Every structure is written in structure tokens, then in C-alpha cells.
């Protein structure tokens, strides 16, 4: 019984770490906050911190899943041929560029 509680505690702490990472913050910070201050407090802290959109964009660009539109500089999918923000066609050189960078 007690072991189950410990395992659930660690699972919740891990999930909160992953959730914090998906919001553009540190996985380890979310995990450690939940481990040391209980998952409930970790959850609350992660919930009140803002989503780091810039970091999420950087991760997407680094992973090669996204690229910047040469016209409007919005982040769009790497295999997009047309920007969904400004509707301009993405030139072929830009289209192939993220593949060459990696």
C-alpha cells in the first residue's frame, strides 16, 4: 500500500516535469519542485508560470520540424510550401534549407 503511494508520487512528479517541459520550461525544475514540495505544489507552480513561447519556437526550429517564413518571419512547418500566416509561397531554397542545416 505504502509503496503504491510512493510510486504514484514519483509518477506525478515525473508527469509534472514533462508538463513543465511542454510549456517551454525545464523538465528537471518541474520534477524537483514536485519531488521536494509535493506534486500538488509543483502542479500549482507550473500552472501559474507562463508558457515560454520563444523557447518552444526555438526547440521546434532546432529539431528541424519548423522554419521561419522568409516573408513574415513567423514559425511555420518545415515542409510547408505556403505560409499559413501571410499566405506567401515559400521558395524552394528555403524549403530545402532546414534539411541541409542538420
Distance CA 98, CA 21 (A): 24
Q: How far is the CB of 36 from Zn ion (least distance, A)?
A: 44
Shorter beta-carbon distance to Zn ion: residue 31 or 69: 69
**For residue 24, with 0-12 CB atoms within 10 Å meaning exposed, 13-18 middle and 19 or more buried, which class applies?**
middle
Determine which residue in the list 71, 75, 94, 95 makes contact with Zn ion, applying CB under 5 A.
Answer: 71
Distance CA 81, CA 91 (A): 7
Determine which residue in the list 72, 77, 82, 91 makes contact with Zn ion, applying CB under 5 A.
Answer: 72
Q: How far is the CB of 41 from Zn ion (least distance, A)?
A: 42
Distance CA 24, CA 60 (A): 11
Q: How far is CA 84 from CA 47, 57, 81, 88, 94, in A?
A: 30, 16, 9, 8, 15
Determine which residue in the list 85, 89, 99, 101 makes contact with Zn ion, applying CB under 5 A.
Answer: 85
Any contact of residue 97 with Zn ion (CB under 5 A)? no
Any contact of residue 91 with Zn ion (CB under 5 A)? no
Any contact of residue 83 with Zn ion (CB under 5 A)? yes
Which residues in this chain contact Zn ion in the complex, by CB under 5 A? Answer: 69, 71-72, 83, 85-86
Amino acid at each position: 500500500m505504502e509503496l503504491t503511494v510512493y510510486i504514484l508520487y514519483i509518477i506525478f512528479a515525473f508527469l509534472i516535469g514533462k508538463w513543465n517541459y511542454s510549456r517551454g520550461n525545464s523538465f528537471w525544475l518541474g520534477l524537483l519542485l514536485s519531488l521536494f514540495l509535493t506534486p500538488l505544489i509543483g502542479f500549482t507552480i507550473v500552472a501559474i508560470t507562463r508558457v515560454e513561447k520563444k523557447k518552444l519556437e526555438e526547440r521546434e526550429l532546432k529539431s528541424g520540424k519548423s522554419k521561419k517564413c522568409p516573408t513574415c518571419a513567423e514559425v511555420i512547418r518545415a515542409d510547408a510550401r505556403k505560409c499559413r500566416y501571410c499566405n506567401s509561397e515559400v521558395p524552394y531554397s528555403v524549403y530545402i534549407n532546414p534539411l541541409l542545416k542538420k
